[in-house]
Amino acid sequence: MDNLSGLNGKTSMVPLEVLLMTKVGGGPASEGTSAAVSLLDWYDLEQEVLLVMERPFPCNIMKQLVDAALTTHTKDVFHGDIKAENLLLETGSSDPQMRVIDFGCDCLVQEEPYFIFSGTSAYAPPELLTCGRYEAAPTTVWQLGTLLYKMLDAEQYFSTSEFLCGRIHFHKDLSQACQKVLEQCLAMNPNQRATLEQLQQHRARVNP
């Protein structure tokens, strides 16, 4: 539990997920304007917490994901579990919008490495498996890469361990631009991975 100058203007003890969602997505006033889903209200039910979130109405999905990741990092929040199940996509309009949800694995961005991983193990960064530690920004880029891989080749299963063993390959029919982005995101060495800023500036047309 943490202190929050809350949605009602009062300071109270709230779950960490509520604190982080409010920090990144804002409250009701931010509905429809944030890449992260906005928290409208929440209720402490003793054994569980009920979150009332905006329901986006029906792009380039990857561009929006990169923008969302940069927004969360700028606000010192590390999502840590970017995957298809944690995204909402508006499909009922000519201008689809993506929203990031599920901030249960989130923590604050820190300069020091992390040693405990709370996200989905299949998408853990390779440095966690090989060195036992990882950092926020390279991990976010890695998870964006795994998601892009799945969007471009939905038939293929992805897991970091399988990738490390050389059992996962980029589809031969992908454009050179797509392959380049995947290579930049899924570089084994986190120091050789693209940064979020570099991905944002990438001008290749990748439209999964």
Residue appearing with tokens 């840590």: 80
* Chain centre distance of CA 156: 20
Cβ-contact 158, 168 below 8 angstroms: yes
Calculate mean pLDDT across residues 99-111. Answer: 85
Give CA–CA dist 56/174, Å, rounded: 31
Calculate mean pLDDT across residues 107-135. Answer: 95
Is pLDDT of 120 > 60? yes
Calculate mean pLDDT across residues 63-71. Answer: 90
Task: Give the pLDDT confidence of 80-91 residue by residue, as tens digits.
Answer: 999 999 998 877
Please count the CA atoms within 13 angstroms of the CA of 107 that sit on its side-chain side.
17
Q: Which residues pair with 89 in a beta bridge?
A: 98
Range of lowest pLDDT (91-100, 157-166, 169-178): 91-100
Calculate mean pLDDT across residues 45-50. Answer: 83
Calculate mean pLDDT across residues 169-174. Answer: 79
Calculate mean pLDDT across residues 178-183. Answer: 88
Is pLDDT of 206 > 50? no
Return the active site residues. Answer: 81
Structure tokens at 141: 């880029």
Give CA–CA dist 201/192, Å, rounded: 17
Cβ-contact 5, 13 below 8 angstroms: no
Is pLDDT of 106 > 80? no
Is pLDDT of 70 > 90? yes
Q: Supply φ then ψ for residue 114, to 5 degrees.
A: -95, 150
* Chain centre distance of CA 81: 6
Q: What is the pLDDT of residue 93?
A: 64
- Using DSSP, state whether 23 is helix, strand or coil: helix
Q: What is the pLDDT of residue 104?
A: 80
Taken in order of first residue, the domains within the chain and their CATH numbers are 2-53 (no CATH), 61-201 (1.10.510.10)
Looking at the whole model, is its pTM more than 0.75? no
Q: What is the pLDDT of residue 69?
A: 92
Band of residue 123 on the pLDDT scale cut at 50, 70, 90: very high
Q: What is the pLDDT of residue 177?
A: 79
Task: Give the pLDDT confidence of 9-34 residue by residue, as tens digits.
Answer: 555 677 888 888 888 877 776 666 66
